[in-house]
Amino acid sequence: MNKTVLIEDLGLKDYKESWDYQELLFGQIIDIKSKNRNALIPQPTPNYFLFVEHPHVYTLGKSGHIENLLISEEKLNEIGAMFYKINRGGDITYHGPGQIVGYPILDLENFFTDVHKYLRLLEEIVILTLAEYGVKSERSKGETGVWLDVGTPFARKICAMGVRASRWVTMHGFALNVNSDLGYFDNMIPCGIKGKAVTSLNVELGVPSIPQDEVKEKLLSHFLVLFDAAIMKKTEVAASV
């Protein structure tokens, strides 16, 4: 079991380029696992955690409904946003500047083989991080992600989640609104759930912006504890190749 995780911050990166990179890493792990079936000495599978921020983009999961995107292709062009149908679970989601996106590409056989537990731990990472800012968040039954004021007329979502898993290897992940322009959410029915609002951490705290690197550090800290994982630096990866 390899519990070391390579952490990469991709900065502001096009969604399709990031998706292709995820697929590359995902495929490499799957290939290693396939070869390990007949290997006398199995090769450890690597794990990755990517942080990224995307230019404006709407993505629709494989179980999603296109009618939850409320604007035309012409309007997408007007507001400078892209649209992709992708291979994660869930419905429609928006990504854009001011949002922290986390893509854990893990071989869960290095940690535990339970996708339900995996999703709940991703939610817990965000819940614990928000608590450090004095924001109480929670889960909403039957609605993956992280919410505020669940069960009230003021329920609002602050973090969306959608993953893909095959042979216990994960990709895609979570999108936490930190300094997001919430106006872009008006162009869709978030996650296909009608009548629920969306919020951002800076809005909840009543401040213009929050240092995103600071939030990433907190997310990563909770990830390492909850997954009992250790960071592998790029120099260590190069030395092991």
Active-site residue list = 191
Binding site, residues? 88-95, 160-162, 173-175
How high is the mean pLDDT of the chain?
Answer: 92
- The pLDDT value recorded for residue 233 is 63
User: How high is the pLDDT of residue 239?
Assistant: 42
Q: How confident is the model at residue 200 (pLDDT cuts 50, 70, 90)?
A: very high
Task: Tell me, yes or no, whether 31 lies in a domain.
Answer: yes
Q: Does residue 61 lie within any of the structural domains?
A: yes
Note the pLDDT tens digit of each residue in 159-199: 999 999 999 999 999 999 999 999 999 888 765 556 679 99
Contacts of 148 (CB under 8 A, 6+ apart): 135, 136, 137, 138, 154, 155, 156, 157, 158, 199, 204
Does residue 118 sit within a domain? Answer: yes
Which residues line the annotated binding site for substrate?
Answer: 88-95, 160-162, 173-175
CB atoms within 10 A of CB 141: 7
46 pLDDT band, cuts 50/70/90, is very high
- Is residue 165 assigned to a domain? yes
CATH number reported for the structural domain that contains residue 28 in this entry: 3.30.930.10
Summarised one tens digit per residue, pLDDT across range 203-235 is 999 999 999 999 999 999 999 999 999 998 664
Number of domains in the chain: 1
- Asked if the structure places residue 81 within a domain, the reply is yes
Find the helix or strand (DSSP H, E) in which 237 lies.
helix 234-240
Average pLDDT in the 22-30 region? 98
Q: Is residue 237 part of a domain?
A: no
**Residue pair 45/1 in contact by the 8 Å Cβ criterion:** no
Whether residue 241 lies inside any domain: the answer is no
pLDDT digits (tens, 9 = 90+) for 50-71: 999 999 999 998 878 888 888 8
Give a yes or no: residue 117 inside a domain. yes
pLDDT surpasses 70 at 96: yes
Structural domain containing residue 81? 4-230
